[in-house]
Amino acid sequence: MTLGSRPDTEAPAPPKRSDRTKAAIMRAARERFAAYGYERTTIRSIAADAQVDPSMVMRYFGSKERLFDAALAIDLCLPDLSAVGADELAEVLVRHFLDRWEGDPADDALLVLLRSAVTNERAAHRVHEIFADQIATALVGTPDPAAADRAALVCTLLLGLALTRYLLRLPAVAGLSPDAVTTALAPAVRAILRSA
């Protein structure tokens, strides 16, 4: 490179301080909401965990309700299921769900949602949206009216797994390997998907 020439690629700009602060607040909020639920979590406790003044939480999120909504912005990152054969669909879905929950220990959003949905109407509504918009939409794919019912029953199994494995941590379920869970649960999912 000659003097005064610009490199073809420039190093990405470091994250702004405000982005780092917002990310720290979001991490702290998800951890607090996951551990204590919506009602017992306070802006002050989140700010203390994020090592910021409570006014910064309000500046970026406006209220506890808006921070909670932001913490519940969840993408299940479902793969395109249209190319998956009917025989493999159940295994792919269960495995993806396990990978999504266990892949990033720092991502507590799903745990926040599950814990809060039991006692908080806002979180329960968000569960409905996520499962209707993401899982049910990915599974239905046909005009068959019974397909939506089958998708809802699959969601029931997946939520039951999440509750017992990640929130209640029942030893018999939490102690299973992902392969063992997939092997045990996939036949039930397959049976639901094939039901008329």
Could you report the per-residue pLDDT of 64-105, keeping only the tens digit for each? 999 998 888 888 888 888 788 878 989 999 999 898 888 765
Split at pLDDT 50, 70, 90, the class of 23 is: very high
Give per-residue burial for 70-109: e unless 16+ CB within 10 Å, then b. bbbebebebeeeeeeeeeebbbbbbbbbbebbeeeeeebb
Angle at 34 between CA 72 and CA 117, to 5 degrees: 60
- Residue type (1 letter), 194: R
Ordered structural domains, the chain, with CATH: 17-71 (1.10.10.60), 86-194 (1.10.357)
Q: Secondary structure of the chain: what % helix, strand, coil (to 5)?
A: 70, 0, 30
Split at pLDDT 50, 70, 90, the class of 187 is: very high
Q: Please state the φ and ψ torsions of residue 3, each to the nearest 5 degrees.
A: -60, 130
**Position of tokens 């913490």?**
71
pLDDT for residue 94: 93
Q: Please report, for residues 10, 12, 24, the alpha-carbon distance to residue 7 in angstroms, rounded to integers and kept in the order given.
A: 6, 13, 33
